[in-house]
Structure 1
Amino acid sequence: MTLIDCPDGADFEFGILIQKKNIFILENGRLPNGSEVSKVLKKYNDSDILGSYGEQAYRTFAAALSPEAAEPDGLKRIPYRSLFITEPAEYAAVVARAALLLDWLHHTKYCSSCGSRLHLSVSETALECPQCRRIWYPVLAPCIIVLISNGEQILLARHVQHTSDIYTCIAGFIEAGESVEEAVAREIREEVGLTVKDIRYRGSQGWPYPNQLMLAFRAEYVSGDITVQKEELSEAAWFTRDALPPIPLPGSAAHRLICGDWY
C-alpha cells in the first residue's frame, strides 16, 4: 500500500478533512467524498493546509487544516472520536488511519541522518530519503488497557488529566523491552499498587490521539490494597456492573471491556 502525493481527490470514495482532533462531515451526517474535500481545499491558502495524500487501497483522500485556519463553509465539525460511536466501523478505521498518517507526515519531513527532504515511497507506506536511502515508517505507540476483576467487582479509576467524572480502566504505554503482559502488570502495580494474575488478551483498537494502538486485556486480582499514583490518578475503586459510575462512551476499548463486549 502506498500513499500518493496528489492535490486533487476526485478519484477517491472517502474524503477526510481534519483539523486538530476534529473531522468535517456533510450536514446529512455522511463523510464527504474526495472530490468534495478537494473543492473545499481550493478556498484555502497553502499555509492553511498542513498536508494531504491519496491512498487507493483505502479509497481515501485525506487532508489536514492548520489549527488557525477558518472552518470550511458547508461542512459540520465533530470530534473524530464520535465516529467510533455513531458511524460504521469502516468509517472509524479510515478516519483513524488518516489522522495518524496526516500527523506523521506533518511531523516527519526531513531525514534525521542527513537532513535531506523526505519523499513518499513508491512501493510501501513509508517515506524515503533520496540522499542516504533510509526508509521511515509511520510511528505507532503501543499501549495496554486492562480491566481488573475481583469476583463480581471491577476496578475503575478517574485520571488526573480528565476534567470530567469519567471512570475508566488502567492504561499506559508499553516500555522498551517489555512484553505486553509485563506492561500490564507494571502499570497496575504503579498506578494502583495491586498484583494480578491470569492476564488475558481481549482485543485491540487503533486510537489516533495521535498514534496509539490500544491492546486490551483482562486480569484477575491477587493481592494488595488500592494505592493511587497521584501523578496519574485522582481516584480508584471497586464497582459492580449494576452500580457503575460514568464510564467512557461506546466505541472505545474501555467501554467494551467494562460492559463485557470483550469478556
Structure 2
Amino acid sequence: MELHLSGERKYLSLASIRAAPPRVISGDESAKLAGCAGAELGPLLPQLAEDETLIGVLVASDGLVSAPITAGELCRGVLLHTDAAGTLLSSLRAWFPPGVAVQPSPCGTHVGPLSLKGACCCVLLPKSVTDALAMSEARVVGHMNGDHADSCLAYARGLCGVAGATGAQMTGVSCAGFALEAAVEGEAKLRKLLVRFPVPLRHASQVRGFAVELHHAAFAALGLHYRLRHGYYRRGALMAIAGVAKAIAKRRVQLGAVGLAAAALVVAVAARRRVG
C-alpha cells in the first residue's frame, strides 16, 4: 500500500500488513464482513498518534477517493486482507467500525462508515493544507472547466486510459489528485476518474503547477496527431505570447515608477535650490 506523508512517498508491504496482529470483524460490527481479518491502521501508521492534526484520505485502485478522515478515526480503520474462510483477498479493503469515518459511500447510495474496496493508497497531510485545498477547490474546478476543458479531456484519455472519452469535467480536487467525470462513447453513465498528482502534495499552492504538468503529460501520451488536432501547440503559443506581454507590461510599470521617482527627485532638488 502506498503512503503519502506530507510530500514523501512510502510503502507498506502486503507482508507487513498481513504480519500485523489480526483484527477480526465481529457479526455485531458487520454481518457481511463477519469473520474477515485485517490489520488496524493505528499500529501501521504511528504518524497518526504522533500528529493528531493530520488528515487523511484513502484511495482505491479504481480511482475512488474517500472523504477526509481525522487522524483519530483513521487509527481505528482496518485493512482487511483475509476473508472469513481464511483465504487471502485479492486486494485490500479499508473498513471502519460503526460510527467511525461516517461519510457518503463511494457509490453514493448511502451514508455510513467507510468501506473501500481495493484500497491502495493513503494520503496524510496537516489540516492546514487540507483546509487550504478545500477553500480553493471551487475556484480551481471552475477555472479548469471554464478555461481548460481540453486539458480535462486529455487527462481522461491520456492519463486515465479512457480512449473513448468524448468529454470530461473536473468535479473536485483532493490531496490525492483531480476528480473527473467523463462521458464515454457507448456508456450511459458518466465514468468517475481520478487523475493522481505526479508527486505527493505538500502545499495547496502546488495544485496549479500539477495541473500544468499533467496537461503536458496527457498530451504527450496522446501523440502528435492528437496534439495538432486539439490545439496543443496553438494554446502553448498563445500562453507564451501572453506571458511575454505581461512581462513587458510589468516592465513598463516598473520603468514608469522609476521615471516618476526621478522626476520627483528633480523637483525636490530644484525647490531646495530656490529656497537656498
With normalisation by structure 2, the TM-score equals 0.29
The structure with more strand, counted as a fraction of residues: 1
- Which structure is larger by alpha-carbon Rg, 1 or 2? 2
